[in-house]
Amino acid sequence: VTAPVADEVLGRELRHVLRPDQVRLGAVDRVTYGYDATYRRGLPAAVVFPESTEDVSAVLRLASRLHVPVFPRGAGTGLSGGAVPMGGIALVLTRMRSISVEPEAMQLVAEAGATTADVQAAAAAHGLYYPPDPGSQHVATVGGNIAENAAGPHGLRYGATDRYVLGLTVVLPNGEVLETGGRTLKNATGYRLTQLFVGSEGTLGVITRARLRLVPKPPPDTATLLLGFAGLSELGRAVGQLARLSESLVSLELLDRHTIAAVAGRGPVPLPEGLAGVLLAELRGYKDVLPRLAQQTADLARAAGAVVVQVAVEREAQAHLWRMREEVAAAVARLKPTKISEDATVPLDELAGFLADLEAIRREYRVELVVFGHAGDGNVHPNILCREGDAEEMTRVEAAVAAIFQAALRRGGTLSGEHGIGLLKRDFLPHAVSPAALWTMRELKRLFDPQGILNPGKLLPSTGGEAP
């Protein structure tokens, strides 16, 4: 990037390519669009609100000409700092939210700024199902979901966002519009460009529109089990056994004892003292079969060491159990003002060991570490609660975060299962992938964004992976 363009010049030029109400330069807007759901803050020089692919293309052509960085963002619910701008242009896609359902082709077309919940609702209105369900689904946008390859509790059974992306409209950094994929449910025609943009965290192109696959409505009935364990090793091993039992298991969530304590008092379910953690298992199927499947699941859990086994089949009783999981985010956020949400993911056969590692890290670094998340696919969310202003505490927190990554990698795990690398984990990337993989990633970035103007400083590390 060459000599920076003055902010006034940038503002004036942006108002040539967009309407005045699509360009904001004031301090309030710049601060408002300077963050995501992490504690990291940035400050863009300008905030723009495109309303079409053409608008995005015009902004990127301008940015290319002026060598100004562009930071695409949806609702700012990301948990890796991926949407935090560092100068340049914050490109806010939330005005692009149209959804058009094609029920007979089992798909829909959504603009990037449509929320996940709106996509789910649009599918449901036609008797179809869009499975990805990240925790932020009522706010988060599908563009962001695709950029991060978001998942959620039902990812165990239905996979992450990637499985549902049939095609994309992507604006490349030079402003060119690339259409990938198409309307067919299967496609073996050329390189899989669609899947290269999924999970690319807004660093290769700006996703403006997606064609999303829908699936038949799942069976109508559910059963929920609450399974309590006295030790984390029993719990961790039970997860692997439960996950193998049946495809009727559609989610398997973990709350460790520190999470339970945070929810306690607020949570509707009184739990016995002395549990190391609980699993919430959701089975989905037909009511003729569910009691039997629930019984099998309960038996397996008991054999694996569960000391508390509750089975709920009535809708009310199930909702009661799940309320505990839904309370988690709010409850742990109340422990201390700053929440650092990690996303380290391990192979299923290493989960028990990793949970022990996390307990040891909590003690060693004296941090308020709570562990919950999607146990069934090894994707747990270690969250550290802290006070950003307390320098001594933050030093321990940073060391604990590094220790969490190291523990996950030592166990054949990875830095992120669904939150992405973004700003927060980029410098850990060289420890998580091979030099050849890192070099390949750098070359892909160079191919699509030779000027390096699109979401710079994200995903790729500051050093490492140079040509061999």
Site for its own copies in 332-371 (CB under 8 A): 343, 345-350
Q: Which stretch binds its own copies (CB under 8 A): 54-62, 153-161, 227-235, 316-324?
A: 153-161
Determine whether 439 is exposed, middle or buried from the number of CB atoms within 10 Å of its CB (0-12, 13-18, 19+): middle
**How is residue 6 written in tokens?**
């003055």
21 sits near its own copies (criterion: CB under 8 A): no
Contacting its own copies within 71-100 (CB under 8 A): none
Q: Which is nearer to its own copies, 44 or 155 (CB)?
A: 155
Q: Which is nearer to its own copies, 311 or 441 (CB)?
A: 441
Among 50, 113, 144, 155, binds its own copies (CB under 8 A): 155
- Torsion on CA atoms 319, 79, 420, 23, rounded to nearest 10: 120
**Number of residues forming the site for its own copies (CB under 8 A):** 93
- 146: enclosing H helix or E strand: helix 142-148
Sign of CA dihedral 43, 45, 50, 55: negative
Distance CA 340, CA 287 (A): 40
Q: Which stretch binds its own copies (CB under 8 A): 41-49, 56-64, 155-163, 327-335?
A: 155-163
What are the distances in angstroms from CA 57 to CA 84, 138, 206, 263, 452? Answer: 21, 28, 9, 46, 16
303 sits near its own copies (criterion: CB under 8 A): no
Among 47, 432, 453, 454, binds its own copies (CB under 8 A): 432
Helices (H), 159-231: 193-197
Q: Which stretch binds its own copies (CB under 8 A): 31-39, 145-153, 225-233, 324-332?
A: 145-153
- The least CB distance from residue 15 to its own copies, in Å, is 28
Distance CA 405, CA 409 (A): 6
185 sits near its own copies (criterion: CB under 8 A): yes
- The least CB distance from residue 427 to its own copies, in Å, is 13
39 forms bridges with which residues in the sheet? Answer: none
- Nearest CA among 191, 275, 179 for reference residue 227: 275
Contacting its own copies within 266-285 (CB under 8 A): 285
457 sits near its own copies (criterion: CB under 8 A): no
Contacting its own copies within 1-20 (CB under 8 A): none
246 sits near its own copies (criterion: CB under 8 A): yes
54 sits near its own copies (criterion: CB under 8 A): no
245 sits near its own copies (criterion: CB under 8 A): yes
In single-letter form, the type of residue at position 382 comes to: P
106 sits near its own copies (criterion: CB under 8 A): yes
Q: Which is nearer to its own copies, 36 or 377 (CB)?
A: 377
Residues with Cβ < 8 Å from 217, sequence gap 6 or more?
124, 127, 128, 129
313 sits near its own copies (criterion: CB under 8 A): no
Contacting its own copies within 372-391 (CB under 8 A): 374, 377-379
Residues with Cβ < 8 Å from 94, sequence gap 6 or more?
49, 74, 75, 113, 141
Helices (H), 25-125: 27-32, 53-66, 116-124
Among 191, 265, 274, 316, binds its own copies (CB under 8 A): 191
437 sits near its own copies (criterion: CB under 8 A): yes
